[in-house]
Amino acid sequence: MPRSIKTLSKRAPRIMLYSHDTLGYGHLRRNLLIAKALSELDPKPEILLIGGMREAGAFALPSGTDCVTLPAYAKQSDGSYRPRELGDDIARLARMRSRIIKSVAAGFDPDLLIVDNVPRGAQFELDDTLAALSRRGNCRIVLGLRDVIDDSQVVRRQWLRQRNFETVRRYYDQVWIYGDPQLYDILSDCSMGERFGSRAHYLGLLDPTARGETKQAALDLETIAGNDQRPYVFCAVGGGRDGADLCEAFARAPMPKGHRGVLVTGTQMPETLRDSVLKHAEAREDMVVLPFVHEPFGVMAGATRLVGMGGYNTTMEFLAIEAPALIVPRCKPRREQVMRTTRLAARGLVSMLKPEELSPASIGDWLAKPVSQTGTMPDMAGLARVQDMAHAALFDRPIDAAIQRNHKPEAEHFISAA
Q: What is d(CA 163, CA 165) in angstroms, rounded to the nearest whole number?
A: 6
pTM metric for this prediction? 0.89
Q: Are strands 200-202 and 415-416 parallel, antiparallel or unpaired?
A: antiparallel
Q: What are the residues facing 113 on neighbouring strands?
A: 16, 141
Distances 244 to 269, 328, 413 between C-alpha atoms, Å? 7, 12, 39
293: nearest Cα among 268, 265, 273: 265
Q: Specify whether the CB–CB gap between 28 and 59 falls below 8 A.
A: yes
Q: Specify whether the CB–CB gap between 173 and 141 falls below 8 A.
A: yes
Whole-number pLDDT of residue 24: 58
Q: Specify whether the CB–CB gap between 189 and 156 falls below 8 A.
A: no
* pLDDT, averaged in runs of 10, over the chain (418 residues): 52 94 72 94 96 72 91 75 83 93 97 96 95 96 97 96 97 97 97 94 94 82 84 89 91 96 89 91 92 87 95 94 94 92 96 96 97 89 96 85 43 38
Indicate the SS3 state at residue 160.
helix
Whole-number pLDDT of residue 402: 46
Q: Specify whether the CB–CB gap between 376 and 347 falls below 8 A.
A: yes
Query: Phi, psi at residue 368, to the nearest 5°?
Result: -85, -20
H helices present in 10-89, as ranges: 26-38
User: How many C-beta neighbours within 10 Å does residue 54 have?
Assistant: 15
Return all residues near 124 (Cβ < 8 A) that are at least 6 apart.
Answer: 94, 98, 162
Our CA angle for 226, 372, 206, nearest 5°, is 70
Q: Specify whether the CB–CB gap between 235 and 261 falls below 8 A.
A: yes
Q: What is d(CA 141, CA 172) in angstroms, rounded to the nearest whole number?
A: 5
Taking phi first (over 0 means left), then psi (-120 to 50 degrees means alpha), and beta for anything else, what does residue 167 get? alpha
Indicate the SS3 state at residue 5.
coil
Indicate the SS3 state at residue 186.
helix
SS3 content of the chain, % helix, strand, coil (to 5): 45, 15, 40
Q: Is the peptide bond between 270 and the residue preceding it cis, with omega within 30 degrees of 0?
A: no
Which letter does DSSP use for residue 18 in this model?
E
Q: What are the residues facing 48 on neighbouring strands?
A: 16, 66
Taking phi first (over 0 means left), then psi (-120 to 50 degrees means alpha), and beta for anything else, what does residue 382 get? alpha
176: nearest Cα among 160, 197, 195, 199: 199
Q: Are strands 260-264 and 112-116 parallel, antiparallel or unpaired?
A: unpaired
What element of type H or E holds 47?
Answer: strand 46-51
231: nearest Cα among 253, 255, 212: 255
Q: What are the residues facing 221 on neighbouring strands?
A: none
pLDDT tens digits, residue range 113-164?
999 999 999 899 999 999 999 999 999 999 999 999 999 999 999 999 999 9
Beta strands in 163-304 (DSSP E): 174-178, 200-202, 232-236, 260-264, 287-290
Whole-number pLDDT of residue 37: 96
Q: Is the peptide bond between 333 and the residue preceding it cis, with omega within 30 degrees of 0?
A: yes
